[in-house]
Amino acid sequence: MKRPLALRLSALSAATALAAAAGIALTSPEATAATGGVTGYATQNGGTTGGAGGQRVRATTGTEIHAALCGRASSSTPIIIEVEGTVNHGNTGKVSGGSCNTAAGVIELKQISNVTLVGVGAGAVFDQLGIHIRQSSNIIIQNVTVRNVKKSGSPTSNGGDAIGMESDVRNVWVDHATLEASGGESEGYDGLFDMKDNTQYVTLSYSVLRNSGRGGLIGSSESDLSNGYVTFHHNRYENIDSRAPLLRGGTAHAYNNHYVSLNESGINSRAGAKVKVDNNYFEDSKDVLGTFYTDQRGSWQVAGNVFDNVTWSSPGSENYPAGPNPQSTTTVNIPYAYTLDAAGCVPDVVRRTAGAGTGLQVSDGNCTPQTPAPDPSTPTTPPPTTPGPTEPGGTNLSLGAGADGSSKADGTSYGNVRDGNLSTYSSPSGSTGSVSVKWGSATSVSRVVVREASGAAGVVRAWRLLNADTGAVLATGTIAGTATFPQTSLRKITFEITSASGTPRVAEFETYAS
């Protein structure tokens, strides 16, 4: 008899505690975005590159992630956001800007493109906070843990989905992620990996999905049939009641996954869906493939799978299990190249490679984990946190100019940023704000230098430089220093701080013609 999910979770927690007692380390090694390793359907429709070639920004809070998105020149400017630490409701606020559309209480990747979100250092954990991708394209999410996202109870986020995609989403690669809940719908949780309302060309690879009532779905209802072209490979589904995944229409490819403890059903192909199921290992599970809970049937092509202690229910009017001797009911043509590991070694190779904190290891097609070659655009050592600005030539045009800004802290003055004195400074009233330099007539500027006061170096974490006459973004960055841009004639230029680790102190806001 199947135990309640809460009891099954208790057993798994006990196993985890025993592993810890045995000295198994659960730390997460440093990782960088392996943008060249995209596989599956995410390679189609022009491919998925995320933020390759864009600026690298480090973030430790959800607000800083949003600030990095909002600090881009446009909503399609490539960016790689490196995340370290725990992101939660308390540090995830809405940030506004012309290149973003964010919201508090969820990581919002909405109406944007060309973004990589990658966990680095000691790891990135999104705690009770979901990642929402909406009306966006060319997105990579890598080496992150998303846990305990709820749709009911408190706090709620993202409709209860760990990662949710909806409304005209294209080309998403989620890789080496750990997605987990602590129960099913009655405990307030929904799906771990959901795609709906015209979401296409997605790959989920080398990830762990566990301890949830619902693994994920393609299509929110029997009438939502505009989704598809999704690849699932080298993932571990563990202690999932159903939806591993649920497919309503569309085409999917599942290969080299390890499914263990699917308690009610597994791959549920229905409403005309087609799925190719290659060289997977199904273990200690029930009804791992078929059409379930509907009379609108789907189909499947099967080859090379292992069914280890799998039980099958009897067929019924809304229950069409593929077993006990699964046979193909369709043919699925796969448009991309892929290499299959033998199904017998899938549990071992997936155990060693899947999930966050595994060093982004992948299988070589012979059941041997391999560490991917470093991304050549990734620095081998972290950049200094407070680089000294490059000394420009020419006259500092700020000297003798005017200054103003947003609400300032008591005891500081806007004029302190243009007095040539590093011992005086201006601070906003909070951790974000702006300060401007202005002239009585149009002045040509192509370079600025922002100097933080002594003791405040590195406090500024993200900023934008604006042509205050037009609102145009001239430059963006993550630490104060030197910024250059095409020479621009303007009457006012603004340094806008969108994220900081404390109260910024801007000692000098220097401007130069060249």
The span from the CA of 467 to the CA of 216, in Å, is 45
If we measure between CA atoms, which residue out of 268, 223, 221 comes closest to residue 243? Answer: 268
- ∠ Cα 498 460 31 (to 5°): 95
Q: Please give the Cα distance from 16 to 13 (Å, whole number).
A: 5
Return the residue matching tokens 């960088």.
32
322 in Cβ contact with 292 (< 8 Å): no
Q: Is 243 a catalytic residue?
A: yes
203: buried, middle or exposed (CB in 10 Å: 19+, 13-18, 0-12)?
A: buried
One of 56, 243, 447, 451 is an active-site residue; which one? 243
State the Cα–Cα distance between residues 101 and 208, nearest whole angstrom: 29
> Nearest CA to 358 among 178, 188, 202?
178
Three-state DSSP class for 394?
A: coil
Side-chain half-sphere exposure of 214, counting CA atoms within 13 A: 26
Q: Which two tokens stand for residue 377?
A: 């655009």
Asked if residues 372 and 362 have their Cβ atoms less than 8 Å apart, the reply is yes
- Quick one: 288 exposed, middle or buried, by C-beta within 10 A (0-12, 13-18, 19+)? buried
Alpha carbons 90 and 513: distance in angstroms, whole number: 42
Q: With contact defined as beta carbons under 8 Å apart, do 183 and 154 qualify?
A: no
H helix or E strand, kind and range, residue 273: none
- Residue spans of alpha helices (H) in 412-470: none
Q: How far apart are CA 175 and CA 375, in angstroms?
A: 15
Q: Give which of 67, 69, 65 is closest to 85, Cα–Cα.
A: 65
Which H or E run contains 229?
A: strand 228-233
The set of residues, in sequence order, having a beta carbon less than 8 Å from that of 54 and lying 6+ positions away, is 77, 78, 79, 80, 114, 116
Beta strands 236-242 and 369-370, pairing class: unpaired
Strand, coil or helix: 505:
coil
Distance CA 299, CA 294 (A): 13
List the catalytic residues: 243
